[in-house]
Amino acid sequence: MNVLWKLSTPLWRHISTSSSRLKKCERLFKVHSSVAEALAGQQPVVALESTIITHGMPYPRNLSTAKEVEAMVRAEGVTPATVAVLEGMVHVGLSEDELDFLACSKTALKVSRRDLPYVISKGLSGGTTVSGTMIAAHRAGIPVFVTGGIGGVHRDGENSLDVSADLSELGRTPIAVVSAGVKSILDIGRTLEFLETQGVCVATYGETKSFPAFFSRESGFTAPYNVLNAEEAADLIVGMLSLGLQSGLLLAVPIPVKHAAVGQQIEGAIQIAVAEARQKGITGKYVTPFILQRVSELTEGQSLQANIALIHNNAKVGSQIARALSERLQ
């Protein structure tokens, strides 16, 4: 059984003065009962994105990975809340059937902030990106969100202005995003600069300040801050929340050492895929999924394997952070 989530921001309250419009708005959000119960009991919850399911990985690995990640979060004593839009309704927490539907869907859209009004108005379904997921997680009151990698400034972004909405979302939504850094399909230096401009606190997780590049533990760039463990990460989140900053936080967790070995080989494939995308004239929201698929083909699945390994690791780390945070917020 799902419960409807009451909308609470000033704008929604304003709309609620008209009862017919309120009914429409209330039907836009659904928090799964397991998530609602955990939040009501002040138990730790971790939000998970779903573009990785609909556009980031091929079937059936997308489905098995989504289920494994949820199971790993539960094994850490934390409730998973996978976010997606289903038939025009934003869902925070999915049932198994809903996960199956999303993983098999050939029509699910990739839903960022700018796509939300359209998918809602048309009653469509889609996987939420980091930006889309942050919006829903924040409205539901979930401060920790785990993903693989976030979007960033694309290579040549200074000309194309292809800058992921994930970065501006991090600048305006107070959520801690746990990721393996930024893929080297992107311009990592400019991505970090843009995050600074947006007021996003960036910290690496572990013993290094070297900002990780998804498949590699190092990008050649340094993060401004570093936290050693879940306790320090939770303290950082408390700092963000208690100051009432409306900006978010990026925690960059390097890929585990034993899976980082393929990084060099994948780097070569990325160069080829980026050039192919340019030759084929692929732009906008189609760039990231195209490159991810080509890199997986060119490395004969090795990139997919590494991708899954780092998501598992992030899920574990993010769950530990959510637990440490919930102890501080009791």
Which residues are marked as active site? Answer: 49, 183
Q: Considering the complex, what minimum distance in angstroms separates the CB of residue 41 from ligand PSU?
A: 29
162 belongs to the binding site for Mn ion (CB under 5 A): yes
Query: Does 183 engage in binding with ligand PSU (CB under 6 A)?
Result: yes
The closest alpha carbon to 296, from 271, 269, 276, 277, belongs to 269
With CB under 6 A as the contact rule, the residue among 39, 46, 47, 56 that binds ligand PSU is 56
Whole-angstrom distance, CA of residue 208 vs CA of residue 296: 28
Q: What is the Cα–Cα distance from 115 to 129, expressed in whole angstroms?
A: 10
Determine the Cα–Cα distance for residues 279 and 270; give it in Å rounded to an integer. 14
Which uninterrupted H or E stretch holds 92? strand 89-92
CB of 225 to Mn ion, least distance (A): 27
Q: Choose from Mn ion, ligand PSU, none: what does 129 bind? Cβ within 5-8 Å by kind.
A: ligand PSU
Binding at 270: pick from Mn ion, ligand PSU, none (beta carbon under 5-8 Å per type) = none
Question: Pick from Mn ion, ligand PSU, none: which does 292 bind, CB < 5 to 8 A by kind?
Answer: ligand PSU
- Shortest distance (Å) from residue 325 CB to ligand PSU: 22
User: Does 292 engage in binding with ligand PSU (CB under 6 A)?
Assistant: yes
> Based on CB atoms, which residue is closest to ligand PSU, 88 or 289?
289
Residue 93 contacts which entry, ligand PSU, Mn ion, none (Cβ below 5-8 A, type-dependent): none
Q: How far lies 258's CA from each of 26, 178, 237, 251, 263, in Å? A: 47, 20, 29, 21, 11
Nearer to Mn ion, 194 or 205 (CB): 194
- How far apart are CB 231 and ligand PSU at their closest, in Å? 28
Judged by beta carbon, residue 162 or residue 169, the one nearer Mn ion is: 162
Question: Rounded to an integer, what distance in angstroms lies between the CA atom of residue 70 and that of residue 328?
Answer: 23
Indicate whether 166 belongs to the interface with ligand PSU (CB under 6 A). yes
Measured CA to CA, the distance from residue 176 to residue 180 in angstroms comes to 13
Residue 142 CB, shortest distance to ligand PSU, in Å, is: 17
- Tell me the C-alpha distance between 169 and 190, whole Å: 16
* Residue 49 touching ligand PSU (CB under 6 A): yes
Q: At what angle do helices 287-298 and 263-279 cross, to 10 degrees?
A: 130
Q: Residues 79, 191, 219, 288: which binds ligand PSU (CB under 6 A)?
A: 288
- Residue 73 is encoded by which pair of tokens? 């979060």
49 is in the binding site of which of Mn ion, ligand PSU, none (Cβ under 5 to 8 A by kind)? Answer: ligand PSU
Eight-state DSSP code of residue 56: I
With b for 16 or more beta-carbon neighbours within 10 A and e for fewer, the 180-217 pattern comes to bbbbbbbbbebbbebbeeeebbbbbbbeeebbbbbbbb
Q: Which residue in 330, 328, 327, 311 sits closest to 145, CA to CA? A: 311
The verdict on 151 binding ligand PSU (CB under 6 A) reads yes
Please state the closest distance from residue 3 (CB atom) to ligand PSU, in A.
26
Among residue numbers 248 through 307, which ones bind Mn ion (CB under 5 A)?
none
The answer to whether the CB of 47 falls within 8 A of the CB of 94 is: no
Determine the interface stretch with ligand PSU among 2-10, 45-53, 204-212, 313-321 (rule: CB under 6 A). Answer: 45-53
Cα 306 from chain centroid? Answer: 17
Residues found near ligand PSU in the complex (CB under 6 A): 49, 51-52, 55-56, 129-130, 148-151, 164-166, 183, 285, 288, 292
Residues found near Mn ion in the complex (CB under 5 A): 162
